[in-house]
Amino acid sequence: MTEPAAALRRTCLHEEHVRLGARMVPFAGWEMPVQYTGIIDEHNAVRQAAGMFDVSHMGRYEVTGPQAAALLRHVCTYDMTRLQPGQGHYAAVCRPEGGIMDDVYAYALAAGRYLLVANASNAGKIYDWLARHAGGFTADLADRHTSTCMIAVQGPQALERLADVLDPAFVRSLRPRACAETAWEGATVFASRTGYTGEDGLELVAPADAGPRLWRALLGAGVRPCGLGARDTLRLEASLLLYGNDMDETVNPFEIGLAWAVTLDDGAGFIGRETLLRLSEEPPTRTLVCLKAEERGVIRPGCAILRSGRQIGNVTSGSHSPTLGVSIAMGFVPPEAAAEGTQLTVDVRGRALKARVVPRPFYRRPRPEERKA
């Protein structure tokens, strides 16, 4: 069931999307562009040139104060106190029982000042969770969901195009996963060299009143507008996980390959630590694998995964890969069926489609010298 349109929230870039002829759809309570010209067209623009996405629906919280880092460490699986100003890191937010409430990115803007980015679908839940646990810390929590917008600019030409809009020295100064703020036409714009497409690029957070101007400046620099449809095929090719598909509160970080985002050796008593410590020492009962179809058809979330005619798991994400020209998917299987090369079948509405376990990711961007060759 989709919510009535009147109940949907709009980002500050809504009018830009409508003017560009975007097809708008309900997504996590927001009215968002799913495509402008076409998913494959937009997907290829990001793989080959530069595209941008309005991701203002994602939750943004500023956490400030002497114990801001300690609060983040308390709710995140990664030790955010390790971040130096200008650094960011990915983490899960877990329940005490180990289930994932959300996957987030935290950025250290300065000592005692952090930006936490959460999924749109979990934004309210994560705000409430932070607020509930903030009591024991000298830290303030500010919701930047509506006062700012967020634009992800991605693709092999993204930095070049961004340097036509923002201060070029600033754009060049950002190393992968680094973040900083810059002045642009009287507004302070936050930028991080991160993304969700498998390509290079920046994610920008700007004041909402500067958002439409910034969007139009990027359009003018030759960046193609891209919708949520292409965002999903791009992230799947890069085998980046999607909350609600590949993880939820019944999934723990070790089942989906997120051990690197869980810090257990700092002794900090973060929420979920005891369970996660135990789980880290036990063999997992299931693991998320990448599947590549070996015949025509499209694997979708929810499809059963079979081995020798017996169901062993389910697909969590699946679509057509524009870059590979076949269907790709991720799904849970028992560890004994997770080895690369394992031949499995996927039940696509009654049709048994052959698929094979392949290494992660499906797509890795070529190095600049390979791209020129």
Partner 1 sequence: MVILPNLRYTKEHEWVLVEDGIGTVGITDYAQDQLGDIVYVALPAPGRRLSQLAVFGEIESVKAVSELYSPVSGEVVESNGALADKPELINDSPYGEGWIMKVRLADEGEIEKLLTAAQYSDYIEREAG
The site for partner 1 (CB under 8 A) is made up of 34-35, 38-41, 229, 233, 296-298, 300, 319-320, 322, 349, 351
Choose between 211 and 322: whose C-beta lies nearer to partner 1.
Answer: 322
Identity of the residue numbered 234: L
CB of 2 to partner 1, least distance (A): 14
CB of 35 to partner 1, least distance (A): 6
CB 200 within 8 A of CB 234: no
b/e per residue 296-314 (b: at least 16 CB within 10 A): ebbbbbebbbbbeeeebbb
User: What is the Cα–Cα distance from 89 to 243, expressed in whole angstroms?
Assistant: 17
CB of 151 to partner 1, least distance (A): 23
Choose between 125 and 300: whose C-beta lies nearer to partner 1.
Answer: 300
**Angle in degrees, CA 30, 166, 179, rounded to 5:** 70
User: Which residue's entry shows tokens 């092999």?
Assistant: 156
Choose between 296 and 372: whose C-beta lies nearer to partner 1.
Answer: 296
Encoded tokens for 272: 């979920």
CB of 320 to partner 1, least distance (A): 4
**Helices H, strands E: what count in the chain?**
10, 19
Choose between 35 and 77: whose C-beta lies nearer to partner 1.
Answer: 35
CB of 312 to partner 1, least distance (A): 23
Choose between 40 and 208: whose C-beta lies nearer to partner 1.
Answer: 40
CB of 159 to partner 1, least distance (A): 27
CA atoms within 13 A on the CB side of 206: 25
- Residue among 315, 350, 351, 349 nearest 333 (CA): 315
CB 29 within 8 A of CB 120: yes
CB 30 within 8 A of CB 9: yes
CB of 196 to partner 1, least distance (A): 17
Rg from Cα positions in the chain: 21
CB of 349 to partner 1, least distance (A): 7
CB of 359 to partner 1, least distance (A): 23
Choose between 41 and 164: whose C-beta lies nearer to partner 1.
Answer: 41
Choose between 141 and 303: whose C-beta lies nearer to partner 1.
Answer: 303
Choose between 43 and 193: whose C-beta lies nearer to partner 1.
Answer: 43
Choose between 33 and 98: whose C-beta lies nearer to partner 1.
Answer: 33
CA distances to 26, 327, 329 from 346, in Å: 29, 11, 10
CB of 348 to partner 1, least distance (A): 9
CB 177 within 8 A of CB 118: no
CA atoms within 13 A on the CB side of 139: 26
- Residue among 244, 268, 259 nearest 72 (CA): 268
Choose between 227 and 253: whose C-beta lies nearer to partner 1.
Answer: 227
DSSP 8-class letter at 87: B
Please confirm whether the linkage preceding 284 is cis (ω < 30° from 0).
no
